[in-house]
Structures are given as C-alpha cells and as structure tokens.
C-alpha cells in the first residue's frame, strides 16, 4: 500500500476518533441532563400507577435475618431461581416481570440522583469535559506570565466570590441586578474578570454549557497559587452559577482592611471557617498590592504596632492627601512569591494593612502567626486545606443555579 495512502487513512481515522469522542461527551451530558429533569419531576410526583391499598396488617415481634438473606432475589440470580422465588410467595412469573420494572426504574433514579444531587467532586468533569482543567490552566498561565500581580488578583477574586462560591461576583450591572462589582470591597480593586471570561470562552468551544464560572474561579485560584510558588490542592468541582448577585452581602460579609480582630474572626466563623483557617487564608497577602487610602492612617499613626522605618518607606508613595490610588506591595521582601514571609513581616510590625497587623496584637492568633513564620511547610499545608474548605461554602449544585454561557451575564 502506498505510504501516502496510509498516512491519509491514519489522519481520517484520527478525525473520526476525535468526532466520536466529541459526540460521546455531548451524549453523556444530554443523558445526564435528561435524567436530572426526570428526577426533578419525580421528586414532586413519581407518575406511576395507583392502587387501592388493603389495610389491617399488624407488626411482628421479631425479625428473620436468615430469611432476609435467602428469600429475597439477588442481582446475580438466574431466571430459573428468580421465578420460583417469587412463586413461593404467590406472585406469578408475569407479576415478577412487572415488579422488576420498578427495580430498574429506581436503579436509574439512584444513578440520576447521584449525578444531580451529588456533592462537589474533583472528578466531576472527567467524562463531560476532560480537558477543562488544562484549558483553565492555560488561560491563567498566560495572564500571570503577562502580569505577575494577576495571580494575587485571581486568588482574591475567588475569595471575594466564595463567601458564596457561586460566581455572583462576575455578574455585570443590569436593570434587575445590582452588581457585586460595585460593592465597596470590590470597587476599583477586584480584578481578573477578563481572565475568567477568556477561560470560559475557550471551554464553550469544546464543552458548551458544561463548566460553570464558579468552578473556573476555583481552579484559577489554585493555578494562580502554584504559578507564584504557592501550594497546590485538589479542587472540588460541580458548582453551578447563581442567577443573581448580592451587593448588600458583598458589603457586609467580606472582611474589611480596618476591621478589628474579633470582627474578622466572627466573620469567618459565620461561614464555617475557623480562626486558624482565617490566619492561613490571610497569608494570601504575601502577594499583591494595596491602594494608598487603605493603609494611609496606619503609616501616619505613629503607633507602637508599626515599625518606624517601614512606615517612613511607605509614606514616600502615599502622601497624607491625594494620590489615593497609589499602589504598594503588601510584602516588600518577596512581593511576587506566595510564601510565609507575610507572617515574618507581622512579627517585625511591618504588616501593611491594619487588618493584617491585628493578627499579631496580643490576641488568640499570635501563636498561629508565630508558627507559620517559622514553618513554610505548615503554612502551605494549612493554606491549601483552608482554600478547599472555603471552596465548600454554600455551593449551588444539582438543579440549583445554572451554567452560564458568559460569566458576566445570565443566559
């Protein structure tokens, strides 16, 4: 056979294989959606036949473990064993076949329920969009390569969304939606929306209507961490996107840069996060930058909780008046590395934000700060665990929420 013909045949087979793989993914998605819709209806009304129930039975005074193991039909029984098993109890072969249909239906419902109502799982897209994680990672890598600071922005974006974990932070303003983007903790500071949209756009090309924007945010935060030397973790998947935003909750629930320690601790506790989780997550401030107006009062306070030389250095780019938007790195030593230097800064009274330095102010968090400053491994492990825990906060799953086509708007 001519080599050229062999080569052309191989290309043709490869294209057919790719097409079949594509069709199989979408068939599985269609079946899953159909099963979920059926289950959703059956939760209200199964829709099977009705009958008149005879009454007057009485309850036994004992149980029969042996009969339960020998009399009930098993999933591997041959037909000649199933038929007499039913006959011994009175039902005919026709009765047996009719009753078997019920077992098949509820087996399907069980499988459907697992897909529609299962908790989030790291394998959620293995069949429906196997390249989802690689696609997201590519978008994040390109963004962080172009601007190192974007890693901090993506982690922060996930954090600000995950006092709900439903991608509500991504929704734009509309006549019916008051966007969280304009809430005070996000206004003029939350960044990275375009990176999430880029990843979503690529995913829609290969897996339309499958991967949620909430999951993209969660994966992007993990990838951003690893790209700047931080820890990695297994991201649970299967979140769905909200159909609305909560501007009010974004302003009240998110911790602020001027909050006292007791308010920060209680704010995290209200979301199921421990004090240790909070201190670990605060370590994300080892990367990124803050605007002058957020730390001006601290560097001009002449307080005992700030190093004088550190305050003097920061004043150069942050005058007492004007230039509110001037940026300063949260960590002067390793500003582009997600590490435990943040905690070393606190011990030296060089926390840039007041809400950072209060973690070392004679309170319950002092010992945790000291522990993390002495052990980068402990910090990395606890940071990863806290990020996983934060990602579990009130996700929309099953039939709740939607899968947005564009992250900034409702379908």
* pLDDT interval class at 75 (50, 70, 90): confident
Same domain, 172 and 197: yes
Q: Are residues 262 and 384 in the same domain?
A: yes
Task: Give the 3-state secondary structure of residue 55.
Answer: coil
Whether 384 is covered by a domain: the verdict is: yes
Please indicate, yes or no, whether residues 272 and 382 belong to a single structural domain of this protein.
Answer: yes
**Boundary residue ending a domain (252, 270, 298):** 252
* Active-site annotation holds for 160: yes
In this structure, the answer to whether residues 227 and 334 fall within a common structural domain is: no
Residue 297 domain flag:
yes
Per the structure block, which two tokens stand in for 197? 């949209």
Q: For residue 356, say whether it is annotated as part of any ligand binding site.
A: no
Compute the distance between CA of residue 334 and CA of residue 355 in angstroms, rounded to an integer: 20
Same domain membership, residue 316 and residue 354 = yes
In a domain, 304, yes or no: yes
More confident residue, 291 or 108: 291
277 is in an annotated binding site: no
161 known member of a binding site: yes
Determine the structural domain holding residue 361 and report its residue range.
255-389
* 180 annotated ligand-binding residue: yes
Residue 24 to residue 161: CA distance in whole angstroms: 33
Q: Describe the crossing of helices 150-161 and 213-227 by its angle, rounded to 10 degrees.
A: 140
C-alpha to C-alpha distance for 83 and 104, rounded to whole angstroms: 17
Q: Are residues 283 and 364 in the same domain?
A: yes
Q: Among 21, 402, 24, which residue's Cα sits nearest to residue 210?
A: 402
How much is the average pLDDT of 360-375? 97
Q: What is the mean pLDDT of residues 100-112?
A: 51
Residues 147 and 239 in one domain: yes
Q: What is the pLDDT of residues 202-234, one digit of tens each?
A: 999 999 999 999 999 999 999 999 999 999 999
CATH code for the domain of 216: 1.10.520.10
Q: What is the pLDDT of residue 28?
A: 54
Retrieve residue 204's tokens.
């829609």
Does this model's pTM top 0.85? My answer is no
- Residue 334 known to bind ligand: yes
pLDDT value for 6: 47
**Burial (CB count within 10 angstroms: exposed 0-12, middle 13-18, buried 19+), residue 113:** middle
Is residue 209 within 8 A of residue 125, CB to CB? The reply is no
Three-state SS at 44: coil
332 falls within a domain: yes
pLDDT band at 41 (very low <50, low <70, confident <90, very high): very low
178 is a domain residue: yes
Name 95's bridge partners.
Answer: none
Question: DSSP letters of 339-380?
Answer: STHHHHHHHTT--SSHHHHGGGSSSTTHHHHHHHHH-HHHHH
Say whether 43 counts as a known binding-site residue.
no
The string of pLDDT tens digits covering residues 261-306 is 999 999 999 999 999 999 999 999 999 999 999 999 999 998 999 9
Q: What CATH number does the domain containing 356 carry?
A: 1.10.420.10
Q: What is the pLDDT of residues 128-183, one digit of tens each?
A: 999 999 999 999 999 999 999 999 999 999 999 987 789 999 999 999 999 999 99
Beta strands in 89-226 (DSSP E): none
Instruction: Please enumerate in sequence order all residues whose Cβ is within 8 A of that of 74, keeping only pairs 6 or more positions apart, or say none.
Output: none
- Same domain as 303, residue 200: no
Q: Are the CB atoms for 280 and 225 separated by under 8 Å? A: no
> Does one domain contain both 277 and 378?
yes
Q: Does 259 lie in the same domain as 247? A: no
User: Does 183 share its domain with 296?
Assistant: no
* Mean of all residue pLDDT scores within the chain: 86
Q: Report which DSSP code applies to 332.
A: S
Residue 154 lies in a domain: yes
Domain count, the chain: 2
Catalytic site residue from 2, 117, 160, 247: 160
Terminal C-alpha separation, the chain: 53
Query: Is a pLDDT exceeding 50 seen at residue 97?
Result: yes
Domain-embedded: residue 291: yes
Question: Structure tokens of 375?
Answer: 């052990």
Report the residue count for the chain.
411
**3-class secondary structure, 384:** helix
């Amino acid at each position: 056979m001519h080599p050229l013909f062999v080569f052309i045949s191989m290309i043709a087979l490869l294209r057919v294989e790719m097409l079949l793989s594509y069709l199989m993914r979408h068939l599985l998605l269609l079946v899953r959606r159909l099963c979920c819709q059926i289950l959703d209806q059956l939760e209200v009304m199964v829709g099977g036949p009705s009958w008149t129930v005879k009454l007057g039975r009485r309850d036994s005074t004992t149980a029969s473990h042996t009969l339960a193991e020998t009399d009930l039909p098993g999933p591997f029984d041959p037909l000649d064993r199933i038929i007499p098993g039913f006959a011994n109890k009175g039902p005919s072969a026709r009765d047996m076949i009719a009753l078997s249909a019920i077992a098949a239906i509820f087996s399907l419902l069980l499988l459907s329920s697992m897909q529609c109502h299962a908790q989030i799982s790291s394998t959620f897209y293995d069949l429906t969009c196997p390249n989802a994680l690689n696609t997201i990672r590519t978008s994040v890598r390109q963004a962080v390569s172009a601007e190192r600071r974007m890693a901090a922005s993506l982690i922060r974006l996930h954090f600000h969304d995950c006092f709900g974990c439903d991608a509500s932070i991504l929704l734009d303003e509309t006549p019916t939606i008051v966007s969280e983007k304009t809430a005070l903790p996000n206004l003029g500071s939350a960044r990275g929306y375009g990176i999430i949209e880029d990843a979503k756009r690529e995913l829609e090309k290969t897996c339309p209507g499958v991967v949620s924007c909430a999951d993209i945010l969660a994966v992007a935060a993990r990838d951003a961490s690893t790209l700047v030397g931080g820890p990695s973790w297994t991201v649970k998947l299967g979140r769905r996107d909200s159909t609305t935003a909560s501007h009010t909750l974004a302003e009240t629930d998110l911790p602020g840069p001027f909050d006292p320690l007791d308010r920060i601790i209680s704010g995290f506790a209200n979301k199921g996060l421990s004090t240790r989780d909070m201190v670990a997550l605060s370590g994300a401030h080892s990367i990124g930058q803050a605007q002058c107006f957020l730390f001006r009062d601290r560097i001009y306070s002449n307080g005992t909780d700030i190093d004088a030389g550190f305050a003097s250095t920061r004043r150069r780019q942050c005058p007492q008046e004007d230039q509110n938007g001037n940026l300063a790195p949260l960590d002067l030593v390793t500003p582009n590395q997600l590490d435990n230097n943040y905690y070393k800064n606190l011990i030296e009274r060089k926390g840039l934000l007041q809400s950072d330095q209060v973690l070392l102010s004679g309170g319950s968090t002092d010992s945790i700060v000291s522990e993390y400053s002495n052990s980068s491994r402990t910090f990395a492990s606890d940071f990863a665990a806290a990020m996983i825990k934060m990602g579990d906060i009130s996700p929309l799953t099953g039939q709740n929420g939607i899968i947005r086509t564009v992250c900034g708007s409702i379908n």
